Structure 1
Amino acid sequence: MQFDAVLLAPRRAQMRSQGWWRDITINDALDHAARQWPDRLALVGQRAGEEAAQPFCYAELARMANRVAVGLWRLGVRPADVVACQLPNVWQLTVLYLACARIGAVLNPLMPIFRERELLFMLGHGEAKVIVVLKNFRNVDYEAMLKGIQPQLPHLQHVVAIGGAGADSFEALLAQPAWEEDADAVQILKQNRVQPDAVTQLIYTSGTTGEPKGVMHSSNTLMANINAYAERLALNSADAVLMASPMAHQTGFMYGLMMPVMLGATAVLLDVWNAATAAQLIRQWRCTFTMASTPFLADLSREVAVSGPVPSLRTFLCAGAPIPGPLVEQAQAALGVQIISAWGMSENGAVTTTLPSDSAQRAVETDGLPLPGAEVKVVDDLGQELPRGEIGQLWVRANSNFGGYLKRPHLNATTEDGWFDTGDQARMDAQGYIRITGRSKDVIIRGGENIPVVEVESLLYRHPAVAQAAVVAYPDERLGERACAVIVLKPGAVEPTLGDVTDFLRAQKVAPHYLPERLVVLAQMPATPSGKIQKFKLREQLKVALA
């Protein structure tokens, strides 16, 4: 594969001189941890339905990474080849990335929710040579599905199944043979390691606006972000990270897979979300930190209120959607943790977070301050910076900005001086904290007035009948656009009328022209694999309904 990561070289000298890019890879971090703390618990993989977890100390983790790396080499994987995986949070995913880095290969994690249509596009676009899957997961035979489409993917040479019965299983090909003891193993492992500015990860955007794009990251872009993130949150080798957010998504990959290895900390992986299991794992392994979206926080808070405290848990970082104020109060009472709000993207990881010293209200009202090494600004349609408090386009310039979109450099949306147009709308307060107000394409302009979509959605989440909410535009001849509220009900809730909803919003002091003028109730929202609501699909459904 030839990677066109054109955004890396122009900023290398500056990033190195400023100390953000340290030319350290995950190989260096793993080697250091294995030498420094060989017997320290590195990784725990807990599978749903299995009582016993799979633990690895750092010496065992390094040995298994070497074994799988040589096994991949035996399959013909070479530097810059793409190895895909479609896995939940299992220990094999962590090992697979570490193994790829040992031989300079590029890992392409894919969400388990994808099926033939998405896989044909992503595996074909990324030219994956190998894909690793679970034989069966949640009643889906992934091995059969992948082998069914393999003839349409000329680059895909191997479908490797964890738990498969044949000679091409993960166990037979990669995990069981002692490949690291082969005579040429040392040479393979030492001479082909990923370089700091080479592409090490290919991850596809979640597609809230349409066809996914392949985001390319180097070790330097990923690790610069993780270092700043861990520093801000005061995370170190004494921490244990519970990761239930998918590691095939940037949140799980950067902060559940990479960060613990970089810190010499412990990662505890949960493959299928279950609040009772999560609470049990936190207690058993003394987890101190976790990062997930607001539904995870709500579930865990309810579980712990019933089953008992999780005293080791110190910090819960929420990203992906605003955090309702009542949920923060509930979570603090039940969990006794610091709630951190954050915002980021696949293209740059976390960009902003609130500070551990901030009040809980900051996490409710804002998405935080830029991390060290990151800058943000809010601009108008001409790229001119707007005064504080005004809503505009959010641009980011960060040490962690990606290398570009694979085979689509014309979509990189990055200025000559390094500013990336995120596609988000935001405002900045007097202290420099930002608040995401919606996607640029999600803005509703009603009669010349912008409707603050995210703020209205946040209020809808407070309605006692509402489990999920989205506000989207529908066309109107006179005003151009009007707002439609789309909701999913809580189990057992009575369906509200449009009048019920608008009366509720009026009681929250919402301006009259911000009120939705239609209400649609769905059984479930169209969503990306990471749970983000796909508003473009909601808009399409509305157009069809109104045609």
Structure 2
Amino acid sequence: MKAFATLADIEALERAPLATLAPNRTPYQLIRAIAERFPDREAFTFLPDASLDTPPQRVTYRELLAHIHRAANAFRALGVHESDTVGMLAPNTPEAHAVLWGAQLAGRVCPINFLLQPDHIAALLKASGAKVLVALGPNAELAVWPTALAVQALHATTLVPISVDEPVPGTPSLQDLMAAQPDTLTFEPDLNPDRVVALFHTGGTTGAPKLAQHTAGNEAHTAWFAHAYYDMDDTAVEVNGFPLFHVAGAFVYGLALLAIGARQVLPTLSGMRNTGFVKAYWQFCERERVTHLACVPTVLASLLGVPVNAKIEGVRAAFTGGSPLPAELAQRFETATGIPVRNILGMTECAGLVSIEPLLGPRTPGSAGLRLPYTEVHAVPWRDGEAKLGERCAAGETGVLVLRGPHMSPGYLDAKRNAGLFEHGWIVTGDLGHIDDAGRIHITGRAKDVIIRGSHNIDPGLVEDAFMAHPAVLQCAVVAEPDAYAGEVPVAFVVLRAGVGVDADGLLREVAPQVYERPACPKRVVLVDALPLTAIGKVFKPTLRLRAIEIRLTEIAQGLAPDRAVRVDASDEGGRQRALITLAGAADEDLSQRLRAALAAIALTVDIRFG
């Protein structure tokens, strides 16, 4: 398939039937086809630790396919059939890939964030109908096993450890179960591309996390077409430090490379959270002949602090998604490293991809790239709290983005949760934006309340529930605060009950343990006398988002100019947030440049003035 540069390239491709260009319509068929073509090529390079002296674990495509077969056979032997689920609590390792794709053959898979609270994980497993839970076993780096034991006490399943440092006495490991199975399938798998093969949890925008259903065809569609945007072939090598419970690790940066026979470098059990690996990042890139980087904006910001102490001329691109990409951050990264940055827009509900900015095209500030082939993406008017699906916005006109296509999930496992997102055959993303004359998709804001911290979607309603359970809290509203590292972090605005004596820090300490996952815990609590309300008495969060911007930017500016008075005024112009920072005193170009550098990683238009 020829690499894409423009929308015309995609439209030319679409003149052929989809079945002609994408004959393999399931993840298994994609992997099997490549394993038959390149059996001895390396699929994974797993780094056991952050030392350049430690030999990596190398897995070929022949071995990967055998591992998938053995895992599928093992799950079938444990009683897993097409309508049954295998839960997974594990980082991105070769063994976890065997589980992810093998479980889809035997039944279906439900990868879960191991940072969630045990009761939350147990609820997801119960909803999914999980018969088996595979979890990372005891080890010195990542404490998943204690969480798995706590989960099993809440939801009884067959618990299978992935053996790492030490065996679990009396419990066969995944490796033991796989070793007892042949390396060819013992059953005939159902390879219907319309069969639901995976359940991925997402915070969504309201209520408890939801389980989005993926068909085999959904996943294969995003994976097969992605490489034409990345300009990759089978010689590509990518650093994929994303977890498999996230669609980026599994599909956007995972299956997309498996589908073409490329190689993934998997950096330790902790992924990009391993600070030792991050410090040696460029040296690993040189050693492993890396060509592409899988990132989110927070990773780009982290890598800017790592000296380029290796030969990285072979790195062709850094692709980033998960949260808005600040144009100044992308420019600084490109200037410092010489590596082009390209943006991605994705959703759990469409197997990870909406659009990609092609490597062969220009980086356009604010653009999330071009839609996938054989899909539709439109901006439609947002009025009276809903998307007007029968209308279309003109090129450049802001609306809410909607989409449909072969990658579109059939909906949430609990169909009652579909309202507001799955509407009349469309996904209503909740993202405000427009499509320009060249077909590029631009995100300018959100019509809904979800907070994106790094690559975590955080439901503010669940965080608010944790605060409202505290006896001192009368009202609470949680919104996004801009953050140079994480993109956004939650901040809680709280009205206290009359006569209570708790302060903001004390309240946060008491509530934090009750928040459903660590990334969802607010960075700060702001005590207020009243929350802004609409005419019908609903909390008006746009005002609080602007207040959160003002608080954070004031902190940053005051930190750089402690002797000056600082005023920050934030505003919202049709979904585009911007801020004016006014610093008292004479103009100071050096201070202005330092302030702009400090704000470069924040996806916000900022003006600075003195006086």
Residue 532 of structure 2, aligned match among 475, 495, 502: 475
Asked if 1:198 is matched to 2:205, the reply is no
**1: distance between equivalents of 2:223 and 2:47?**
24
Q: How far off its partner does 1:192 sit? A: 2.6
Residue in 1 aligned with 2:468?
none
Change (3 A) 1:436 1:294: same
Residue in 2 aligned with 1:308?
310
**1: distance between equivalents of 2:74 and 2:576?**
64
Residue 422 of structure 2, aligned match among 394, 397, 414: 414
Residue in 2 aligned with 1:538?
none
Change (3 A) 1:165 1:368: same
Residue in 2 aligned with 1:500?
566
Residue in 1 aligned with 2:329?
327
Contact 2:72–2:106 (CA<8 Å) still a contact in 1? Answer: no
Q: How far off its partner does 1:37 sit? A: 1.6
**1: distance between equivalents of 2:575 and 2:447?**
21
**1: distance between equivalents of 2:322 and 2:16?**
31
Q: How far off its partner does 1:343 sit? A: 0.9
Letter in 1 for 2:130: A
**1: distance between equivalents of 2:133 and 2:146?**
13
**2: distance between equivalents of 1:346 and 1:502?**
35
Residue in 2 aligned with 1:449?
none
1:120-162 per-position Cα deviation (integer Å, ceiling 9, x unaligned)? 22111111111111124677643333233324325x2334343
Change (3 A) 1:499 1:76: farther
> Is the deviation greater in 394-403 or in 481-490?
481-490
**1: distance between equivalents of 2:100 and 2:324?**
31
**1: distance between equivalents of 2:49 and 2:33?**
32
Match of 1:179, SS state, is coil
Contact 1:71–1:174 (CA<8 Å) still a contact in 2? Answer: yes
Q: How far off its partner does 1:435 sit? A: 1.8
1:226-257 per-position Cα deviation (integer Å, ceiling 9, x unaligned)? 22221222222111121012221000100333
Percent identical residues: 22
Alignment of 1:254-403 (within 5 A): 254-270=251-267, 271-272=269-270, 273=272, 274-305=277-308, 307-348=309-350, 349-360=352-363, 362=364, 364-380=365-381, 381=383, 382-383=388-389, 384-403=391-410
Letter in 1 for 2:107: A
Tell me, which stretches of 5 or more residues in structure 1 are unaligned?
Answer: 1-13, 444-456, 518-531, 534-547
Q: How far off its partner does 1:198 sit? A: 1.0
Change (3 A) 1:127 1:336: same
Letter in 2 for 1:166: P
Contact 1:391–1:426 (CA<8 Å) still a contact in 2? Answer: yes
Q: How far off its partner does 1:40 sit? A: 1.0
Residue in 1 aligned with 2:608?
none
Q: How far off its partner does 1:21 sit? A: 6.3
Asked if 1:27 is matched to 2:63, the reply is no
Asked if 1:253 is matched to 2:250, the reply is yes
Q: How far off its partner does 1:493 sit? A: 4.8
Equivalenced residue count is 475
Residue in 1 aligned with 2:437?
430
1:255-278 per-position Cα deviation (integer Å, ceiling 9, x unaligned)? 333122211111111232142343
Asked if 1:187 is matched to 2:157, the reply is no
Match of 2:402, SS state, is strand
Match of 2:300, SS state, is helix
Match of 1:404, SS state, is coil
Match of 1:187, SS state, is coil
**1: distance between equivalents of 2:579 and 2:304?**
31
Alignment of 1:137-176 (within 5 A): 141-154=143-156, 156-163=157-164, 164-171=167-174, 173-175=176-178
Contact 2:86–2:131 (CA<8 Å) still a contact in 1? Answer: yes
Letter in 2 for 1:126: S
Residue 52 of structure 1, aligned match among 55, 75, 85: 55
Letter in 2 for 1:226: A
Letter in 2 for 1:215: A
> Is the deviation greater in 289-298 or in 71-80?
71-80
Tell me, which stretches of 5 or more residues in structure 2 are unaligned?
Answer: 1-13, 451-478, 494-530, 582-601, 604-611
TM score, norm. by length of structure 1: 0.76
TM score, norm. by length of structure 2: 0.69
Query: What CA RMSD, in Å, does the superposition of the two structures yield over aligned residues?
Result: 3.9
Alignment of 1:483-498 (within 5 A): 483-486=546-549, 487=552, 493=559
Match of 1:180, SS state, is coil
1:344-378 per-position Cα deviation (integer Å, ceiling 9, x unaligned)? 10011211222323333x0x222222122221111
Contact 1:222–1:400 (CA<8 Å) still a contact in 2? Answer: yes
Letter in 2 for 1:245: F
